[in-house]
Amino acid sequence: MTRRARLGATARFALGVILLVVVLFLAVFPTRTYLDQQDAIGNAGDRLSVLSKENDRLRQRIERLQSPDEIERIAREEYNLARRGEEVFVIIPSPLEAVRRHGRAQQAITTIRDAWGLPPAPGAEAPPS
């Protein structure tokens, strides 16, 4: 091969590389950005759907709370309120049930501490095996 032929081949190769880089900038990178944007739009649509359902649920709750019957129901169930002349009775769980619930809570706390690698709380008892 003559020097001129080698120079021509090198020039064609360099032109090919430059052309490839231009194609990448004009086609591939914008396509990737476009696909990322489409993914973001899909995620935003999903979030919008969830929030719309939540708004509908809250609107229904607002409508229910306009009713005196609903307000009375909440006052009785959640705040143990009664009308004049009525008596409220509260049923206290047995001590055995309270101990069982406390044990479950302690076990959950211990599991979380172990998962996060935290030391046991000061004065905490060792969990049952």
How would you write the pLDDT of the chain (129 residues) with one tens digit per residue?
677 667 788 888 888 888 888 887 777 777 888 889 999 999 999 999 999 999 999 999 999 999 999 999 999 888 888 899 998 887 776 666 666 677 777 777 777 777 777 777 666 655 554
Give the pLDDT of residue 114: 78
Distance in angstroms (rounded) separating the CA atoms of residues 87 and 50: 43
Give the pLDDT of residue 106: 76
Distance in angstroms (rounded) separating the CA atoms of residues 46 and 56: 16
Give the pLDDT of residue 27: 75
DSSP-assigned letter for residue 4: H
